[in-house]
Structure 1
Amino acid sequence: MYVFDGDRPVKATIRSYTEQDFDGLIRIQQESFPPPFPSELWWNEEQLRNHIERFPQGALCVEIGGELAASVTGLRVDFDPAYADHTWEEITDRGYIRNHNPAGNTLYIVDICARPAYRKLGLGKWMMLSMYEVVVELKLERLLGGGRLPGYHRVADEMTAEDYVCSVLEGERKDPVLTFLLRCGRTPVKLVSDYLEDEESLNYAMLMEWRNPFLAAKREGF
């Protein structure tokens, strides 16, 4: 496919990542989440090996000019909206996804990131759309994940996390992650505290979902 740097088309490939990509995937993490993001949350080889062995459909990367530019990782879980509270560590097994459930009803996003030099190409949205295709192909109910609120720390003395989210949803301010997820078609489910150790978000995250429209149509008899 082609992505665009301004008006210039740039050839890109979205594909499953493999063991040969591990060094490049770790580099993406290091560049995407510099300090104060905890370095122990960057991928390690054991985690990456679990991703490609347990759920290769949920382990995707973007390659441009022979280099890895971005990646997204997911696992299947059985999600009940009535019991939505969880932490990132609990639902992703700290990124090791040993709790991947092949019969789960939900594709849960463990991580999505792009190297800073490639972010103007819109790779995040293309990766999210690719994951929506996985949801449809596997006939899952939804795609779900926790969205960080990296802009919240700037106004935490002035408003609650709930008010901050509302201000983004009402268009009064933008948040780098929450606004991006909204642009990708994700909708809010629930604000979760102590989701992830993250100084910028004060450990908050907004659960955001994308519902499989084809399952909805089937339920309604179309």
Structure 2
Amino acid sequence: MVYRKDQFVFSGHRPLPAVIRLYKEEDFDGLIDIQRECFPPPFPEELLWSMEQLESHIRHYPEGALCAEVDGELAGSVTSLRIHFQEDDPDHCWEDVTGGGFIHTHVPDGNTLYVVDISVRPAFRRMQIGRLLLHSLYERVVADGMDRLLGGGRMSGYAACAHEAAPDEYIRQVLAGTRQDPVITFMLKSGRTPLRVVADYLEDEESADHAVLMEWRNPFRLTGG
């Protein structure tokens, strides 16, 4: 499988050449460095990608393992797998659906492309790299005739105001524009819509372990609820 998308991104008013492509073994050191920049201490080192996990990604589902280069420098990555999903499925946690990040839970004919992780180096975050990576996954959904892209968005601002609002109310406030949440707002701007709040999705102090399942529906496949 080959995938490569060339375009330009902007640093201020300066256009820079960018490439979205499949990541490969020689990228692994750089991908781990990206995670270190995105999740500095006190984030546990053992929760960053390992060489074994990255190797498992490209072995189980290379088409869903993408990285971004800007002017020849690795700037970000996104990892995904395919699952079977229906909207009335019971809630799940990140650990179970991703096989602890090894994605051996990948289902080759799954109807849904599930986002495992997206990371963009801080120095590149004003260049729309995260949005480019997600849009590349949308293209994969369409190309392979899947129903949707799905993933859990950390409610990264929730813990700070949990005493003021229940999780569902917090999301209603984000959707009403009276609150901003860095992760959820980014996903909304990237075309994704919320399905429901999930408790105990991922051990994460900032979100009080809460996430929102957010999807992008294939416009050529799904037309209703």
Both structures adopt the same fold (TM-score exceeding 0.5)? yes
Aligned partner (choices 73, 77, 93) of residue 71 of structure 1:
77
Q: Identity across aligned pairs (percent)?
A: 55
Mapping for residues 99-178 of structure 1, pairs under 5 Å: 99-178=105-184
**1:35: Cα distance to partner?**
3.1
**Map of 1:26 onto structure 2:** 32
Mapped partners of 1:166, 1:173: distance in 2: 9
**1:40: Cα distance to partner?**
2.3
Residues 133, 88 of structure 1: CA spacing in aligned structure 2 closer, same or farther, 3 A cutoff?
same
TM-score after normalising by structure 2:
0.94
**Map of 2:19 onto structure 1:** 13
TM-score after normalising by structure 1:
0.95
Structure 1 segments unaligned to the other structure (5+ residues): none
Structure 2 segments unaligned to the other structure (5+ residues): 1-6
Query: Is the partner of 1:206 in helix, strand or coil?
Result: strand
Aligned partner (choices 48, 70, 90) of residue 96 of structure 2:
90
Matched, 1:186 2:192: yes
Residues 84, 143 of structure 1: CA spacing in aligned structure 2 closer, same or farther, 3 A cutoff?
farther
Mapped partners of 1:123, 1:185: distance in 2: 14
**1:93: Cα distance to partner?**
0.3
Query: Is the partner of 1:74 in helix, strand or coil?
Result: strand
Per-residue CA deviations over 1:1-45 (Å, capped at 9, x if unaligned) read 101112211111110000000000001111111234333221001
**Moved segments of 4+, more than 4 Å:** none
Matched, 1:195 2:201: yes
**Map of 2:55 onto structure 1:** 49
Per-residue CA deviations over 1:127-155 (Å, capped at 9, x if unaligned) read 01000000001100000000001111221
Mapped partners of 2:119, 2:75: distance in 1: 9
Q: Count residues with an aligned counterpart.
A: 218
What is the one-letter code of the residue matched to 1:137? Answer: A
